[in-house]
Amino acid sequence: MTGPGEEPFIAAVKPLVDAIGGELLPADEAGQDDVVLAWEGADVVAVRLPQLADSLDHILAALERRQGRPLSELDRRAKQEVVRMLEARGAFSVRHGVETVAGALGVSRFTVYNYLNREKGV
């Protein structure tokens, strides 16, 4: 998959790819929707990006790891902050995004909409 000097490049991009829920694969196995990364003029590795819905699940799991507990156990203020951060990242443009987030937070869709409307001053 790699030639001399390319391992540091792959090691450098791997945390980013992992954070977005992507997958690294050999550059010559890249599909039409994959992103091929080059290093010093040569294609080194391809990144297969996740579907948006998978990304939301990945983001929610990462937030739980960061909090050290299920998101449903957070207090109201912390849940509002999670909703604010997810909105900034486009989580609610994903089909069933509100339902997915509500389930992870242990609240109703109505509550998530209230948190969103509170932010907009509605």
pLDDT, tens digit, 9 for 90 and up, residues 65-91: 999 999 999 999 999 999 999 998 888
> Mean per-residue pLDDT for 55-60?
85
Q: Is the pLDDT of residue 3 over 90?
A: no
Q: Count CB-CB contacts under 10 A for residue 75.
A: 8
pLDDT score of 31: 92
Helix (H, G, I), strand (E, B) or coil at 35: strand
In terms of Cβ atoms closer than 10 Å to its own Cβ (0-12, 13-18, 19+), residue 82 is: buried
Taking the alpha carbons of 22, 26, 27, 31 in that order, is the dihedral positive or negative? negative
Specify the pTM. 0.62
122 pLDDT higher than 60: no
